[in-house]
Amino acid sequence: MSIESAKAFYQRVTTDENFRTQVESSPIEERGVLLQAAGYSFTQREWEAASAEILETTSIDEELNVNKLWIWQN
């Protein structure tokens, strides 16, 4: 599990429309399994850290709504 994996996931969903659609349309309780099958492994804390780093360096025009990609249930 790593922040690097979370960043790689973010990069993919911003460049791969089919993958993004698959993630966004999957039930939230199944997203962890989907991401692991795609080779990504990160915790909620790592996702939050990666998202914060990415958002600091991303312009508003380029920003992907990270809330749509939420993986964990509250």
CA–CA distance, 14 with 9 (Å, rounded to integer): 9
Q: Looking at residue 74, what is its pLDDT? A: 43
Whether 58 shows a pLDDT value over 60: the answer reads yes
Q: Looking at residue 54, what is its pLDDT? A: 85
Contact between residue 46 and residue 5 where contact means Cβ atoms under 8 Å apart:
yes
Angle value at C-alpha 15, between 9 and 16, nearest 5 degrees: 80
Whether 64 shows a pLDDT value over 80: the answer reads no
Percentage of the chain with pLDDT > 70?
Answer: 77
Mean pLDDT of 6-11: 92
